[in-house]
């Protein structure tokens, strides 16, 4: 008898989500927030040619799906993870920014955003780029959305129309965005980023003392950097067409808890706080200052400010390198499982090869299960001859090279295996478990990559109380 997934069947139903258009405007005196037109808006001089979008209702279906390879996402675990983060991991009152970049690390950003907003106590969203932000808005998200990367200024009209918050990374970009916003007739809210040592985006730089500002108060070089950085930020914040309600930086070595990491994270905190204090002394304050990412929340929660940015932790993924020392091991339950099926079985004689490039030669008669999942689905080719899958509650080694659309597993020690059997690539099967963390070791990567690379052709099944409540099928949308 074939083992079946708890989400093997989904009850047919249909749900229509009507998107809200009354997202609070962030307009300043003399500016009118752009309205959502019924069609294309007449372009003003200097405005980008892209049309202002229309918030039209979209129908999402919960339906049967093509059961080849699919992901199961436990909403109860996600809701509990958010509670643990807010109530047990950061200081009381710290706001939570949910980082939903890369389709919420493969979990499905558009579907999850309204749930995080209504049921999880999230105050802000963050994404990597403009397209991801618009996807959230079209999915019904009404909270503020911060774009962590830089958006080409020709899209200033879209930033304003969708009421998005844009990161400002330096003065040149701030001036260009200001000019584009004024030309488009919009006001754009911003979070200004401070470069405290990562040397990616942000105002400031040239920090040389790893001890940080607090331990180098007499260092005139550090003080000069703080003053120069604060002055530039004040100038950027005063540009027309821009408003600002946030200031932030990013920890670059927070994933491991050791003396070096502690020293560097505290140095970044001290630099950021020094800039913040200098701004406050000039009369400039914002409601949202945020520094901590997932690693910071796990290892340095005492450095939290008004808000923390959390991505992988929301899903029960720690985001740290396998084997890394952590200060705190949060009691989070994994919310993601990847499932497939045995397509067929075959007997391979001793001396025969299995898969591409003859890099596995059977040294004894071997029963091989062909599984309908490959690297295009997101199962890393690095698992070739080193990974495992679960079949009938037992581990089966992956043999040969993982193919584009299939993989091969040795089921010689699981003789009852049959075509159609459930295969667990990540998750549990009875008492057996193969976590994303363990899978990351075989794939020589970190946990978030395991889920992020799961492709669009893999349907996402969302569960509450172990029952499917929604199917997100990117290719077919439940219609086949």
Q: Which run of H or E residues covers position 368?
A: strand 366-371
DSSP structure class, residue 78: H
CA-to-CA distance for 8 and 72, rounded, in angstroms?
A: 10
Instruction: Determine whether 101 is an active site residue.
Output: yes
What would the two tokens of residue 445 be?
A: 């990567």
- Residues 6 or more apart in contact with residue 395 via CB below 8 angstroms: 388, 389, 432, 434
- Residues 6 or more apart in contact with residue 407 via CB below 8 angstroms: 371, 373, 374, 379, 383, 389, 398
Distances (CA, A) of 195 to 22, 202, 229, 258, 440: 35, 4, 9, 23, 30
CA-to-CA distance for 88 and 81, rounded, in angstroms?
A: 10
What would the two tokens of residue 139 be?
A: 């999915």
Q: Of these residues, 101, 193, 318, 339, which one is catalytic? A: 101
Q: Of these residues, 27, 328, 356, 367, which one is catalytic? A: 356
Which candidate, 180, 120, 128, places its Cα nearest to that of 150?
Answer: 128
- Residues 6 or more apart in contact with residue 238 via CB below 8 angstroms: none
CA-to-CA distance for 108 and 315, rounded, in angstroms?
A: 11
Instruction: Determine whether 173 is an active site residue.
Output: no
CA-to-CA distance for 142 and 163, rounded, in angstroms?
A: 9
What would the two tokens of residue 88 be?
A: 């047990």
CA-to-CA distance for 92 and 298, rounded, in angstroms?
A: 15
One DSSP character per residue, 424-452 reads: EEEEEETTEEE-HHHHHHHTTS-HHHHHH
CA-to-CA distance for 20 and 57, rounded, in angstroms?
A: 9
Decide if 370 contacts 343 (C-beta within 8 A): yes
Q: Report the catalytic residues.
A: 101, 356
């Amino acid at each position: 008898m074939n083992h079946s997934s708890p989400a093997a069947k989904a009850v047919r139903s249909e749900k229509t989500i009507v998107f809200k258009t009354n997202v609070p405007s962030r307009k300043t005196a003399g500016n009118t927030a752009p309205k959502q037109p019924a069609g294309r808006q007449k372009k003003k001089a200097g405005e980008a040619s892209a049309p202002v979008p229309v918030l039209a209702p979209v129908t999402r279906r919960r339906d049967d799906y093509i059961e080849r390879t699919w992901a199961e996402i436990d909403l109860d675990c996600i809701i509990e993870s958010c509670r643990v983060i807010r109530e047990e991991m950061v200081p009381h009152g710290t706001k939570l920014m949910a980082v939903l970049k890369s389709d919420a690390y493969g979990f499905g950003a558009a579907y999850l955003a309204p749930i995080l907003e209504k049921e999880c106590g999230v105050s802000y969203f963050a994404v990597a780029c403009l397209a991801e932000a618009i996807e959230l808005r079209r999915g019904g998200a009404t909270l503020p959305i911060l774009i962590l990367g830089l958006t080409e200024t020709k899209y200033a009209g879209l930033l304003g129309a969708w009421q998005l918050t844009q990161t400002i990374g330096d003065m040149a970009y701030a001036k260009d965005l200001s000019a584009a916003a004024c030309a488009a007739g919009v006001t754009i809210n911003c979070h200004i980023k401070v470069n405290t040592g990562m040397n990616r985006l942000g105002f400031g730089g040239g920090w040389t003392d790893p001890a940080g500002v607090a331990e180098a108060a007499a260092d005139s070089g550090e003080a000069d950097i703080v003053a120069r950085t604060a002055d530039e930020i004040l100038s950027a914040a005063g540009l027309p067409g821009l408003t600002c309600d946030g200031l932030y930086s990013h920890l670059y070595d927070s994933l491991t808890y050791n003396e070096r990491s502690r020293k560097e994270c505290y140095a970044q905190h001290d630099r950021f706080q020094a800039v913040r204090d200098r701004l406050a002394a000039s009369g400039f304050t914002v409601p949202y200052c945020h520094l901590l990412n997932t690693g910071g929340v796990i290892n340095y929660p005492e450095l939290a400010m008004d808000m923390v940015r959390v991505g992988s932790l929301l899903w029960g993924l720690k985001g740290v390198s396998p084997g890394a020392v952590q200060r705190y091991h949060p009691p989070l339950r994994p919310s993601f499982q990847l499932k497939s099926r045995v397509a067929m079985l075959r007997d391979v004689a001793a001396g025969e090869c299995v898969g591409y490039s003859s890099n596995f030669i059977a040294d004894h008669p071997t029963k091989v299960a062909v599984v309908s999942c490959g690297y295009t689905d997101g199962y890393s080719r690095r698992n070739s001859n080193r990974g495992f899958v679960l079949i009938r509650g037992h581990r089966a080694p992956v043999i040969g090279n993982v193919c584009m659309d299939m993989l091969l597993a040795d089921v010689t020690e699981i003789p009852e295996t049959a075509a159609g059997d459930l295969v667990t690539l990540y998750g549990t099967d009875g008492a057996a478990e193969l976590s994303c963390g363990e899978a990351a070791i075989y794939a020589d990567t970190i946990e978030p990559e395991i889920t992020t690379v799961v492709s669009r052709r893999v349907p996402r099944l969302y569960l509450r109380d172990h029952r499917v409540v929604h199917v997100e099928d990117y290719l077919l949308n439940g219609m086949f």
